[in-house]
Amino acid sequence: MISQYDDHPDGDVANALVGGGEMEELTSCVEEMRDFGEIIRQEELSLRDSLSTLSMLTARCASLIRESSGEWDDGIER
């Protein structure tokens, strides 16, 4: 899948997958996931709490990608 975006002018797969405005939102979501990973390591949060929060953040990022590409949860192209 990634290889189809190799020739993107910015050379950035994420920019090829989502538009400009959505890119900022997606970047923010991914940064939240990274930051939460640091919190997990530093504070040794419980596995249950960690998985719940990571699941929520992952779903949010996936939703942003689907919305920007025209795919919604119901599978109907818009």
**pLDDT for 30-45, tens place per residue?**
888 888 888 877 777 7
Residue 5 is classified by DSSP as G
What gap in Å lies between CA 26 and CA 56, rounded to an integer? 14
pTM (2 d.p.) = 0.48
The residue that leads in pLDDT, 75 or 44, is: 44
Q: Is 12 left (phi over 0), alpha (psi -120 to 50) or beta?
A: beta
Domains of the chain, by residue range, sit at 2-69
